[in-house]
Amino acid sequence: MKQLKLLLAVTLLCSSCFSQTKSFIQLDSIFTLLHGQNQFNGEVFIAERGKIIFNKGYGFANEETKSRINGKTIFELASCSKQFTGAAIVLLKREGKVNYTDKLSKYIPELKFWEDVTIYDLLRHTSGIPDFIFSMDNNWDPQKIASNDDVITFYSSRKDTLEFKPKTAHRYSNTNYVLLASIIERVSGKKYGEYLADNIFKPLGMNNTFVYNRRKKAKKIENYAIGYVWAYNSFTKVTMENPEYNEQRVYYLDGVEGAAKVNSCAEDIYKWILALHSNTLLSQREFEEMTEITQTTAGSPIPYGFGLDLRKSENKMAFGHTGSWDGYSTLIYHDSIKDRTIIILENFNQGANAVTNVFEILDGRPLTMEYEKKIDIEEPIFIQFTGTYADEEGNEHIITYKDKHLIYNSNVAQWDMRFFPYAKNEFFAIRQGGRNGVLRFSKLDNGDIKLEMLEYGSLIGQGTRRNKS
């Protein structure tokens, strides 16, 4: 009997090892493919039931030094920073220093004209406050790095009206979390980053997590991932403010904190998820408040808690967030029922996260073709499709060729969107988040070439290029 039990235990162990090995191979093959097709550069970390089942980096953290990405590589978390801002407000409420129903004007009287906005509204994006990223676009000196106080002064001088009455709608606005960070500072007497470090990062052993403004206060950080984009009409990676890309917004907003600017690594983020899952930092009641799905005054559900997107049903409870800023793309996801954590950190703005395939592999479901596989074709095949395609409304779709890719632009916008071939007349887009996009070409009887632009299989645009002969 003992031998039978031992044999059964060994069989189950081998079966489990085989399953995990198979999952690892499948996951690795997906991200290796994407990396090879310029669709992924970053870190993938997956854990289930308290065990790390996948932890691997792809590509370089720094294009100059060629240092490689690993589980301890530090990335800017972009909007995934908001969950830490939300948790800090929970801790301040525990200390009796704030209440969720308090009005914004109690802590930031400069904005008293937004009288009906509460801390709850800021946390859940029901305030109606406009997004500072867009408001300051053409109304700020791009040579000056703004701070949270500058954002407050900017709005206090303009006295912008709210976009809707608080609680009547749910609309994401980064300004909400900038103001929450300012409330944290005014109430605690500490800098935003200092408060997070003292009350969240250090207690949880998140030793590689901190608030960092890499343009305002640059410093040397070991194993740090630089955020990259492609220079226009090139496959050279540059930072966004580089003249070859020239996005100055990331420079002059570098000092604004709360909605972004937390930097961390996958292993530290997992410590944070474990703390939330086990109520190590927050009590069960506090966590339930943080992840409560509420409603607008019209009864529409608000699937957003305190810096967390929420998915709840009879058999599901999941929370997390995504982020995109300054060449970084981030995803943090935790399924409380399956005790499954997925962390994907990228330092390339056109990265794909392949979450559909990740879920399929982890759940043992058949794999779908989420991303097409690149094929090798000769340069003349690319060249035959270049040119200007016009539609009946006068729109022009401009196709050029560069390094085994077609590049799409139009007469109204510089899209600089790259496409690789997966068939001799069909090309797949390299887009942020891996969004589906296809260029399909077909030759007409009169020698003209027809262009069809598809997104998730639906036609979104088309044009014809007249026969060059």
Per-residue pLDDT reduced to its tens digit, 297-316: 999 999 999 999 999 988 88
155-179 pLDDT per residue, tens: 999 999 999 999 999 999 999 999 9
The fold of 379-465 is Lipocalin (2.40.128)
Is 79 marked active-site?
A: yes
* More confident of the two residues 365 and 11: 365
For domain 75-351, the CATH superfamily is DD-peptidase/beta-lactamase superfamily (3.40.710.10)
pTM of the model: 0.93
Token pair 């590049």 is found at 407
Specify the long-range contacts of residues 337-342, CB closer than 8 Å, at least 24 apart. Answer: 338/48, 339/48, 339/49, 339/50, 339/277, 340/46, 340/47, 340/48, 341/45, 341/46, 341/47, 341/48, 341/270, 341/273, 342/45, 342/46
How would you write 437-454 as a 3-class SS string?
CEEEEEECCCCCEEEEEE
Q: Provide the residue ranges of all domains of the chain, joining segments of one domain with +.
A: 75-351, 379-465
Sign for the pseudo-dihedral over CA of 183, 184, 187, 193: negative
192-229 pLDDT per residue, tens: 999 999 999 999 999 999 999 999 988 999 999 999 99
> What average pLDDT does the chain have?
94
Distance, in Å, from the CA atom of 67 to the CA atom of 181, rounded to the nearest integer, reads 33
412-452 pLDDT per residue, tens: 999 999 999 999 999 999 999 999 999 999 999 999 999 99
Model pLDDT, residue 469:
61
Identified catalytic residue from 16, 19, 67, 79:
79
- Fold equal for 75-351 and 379-465: no
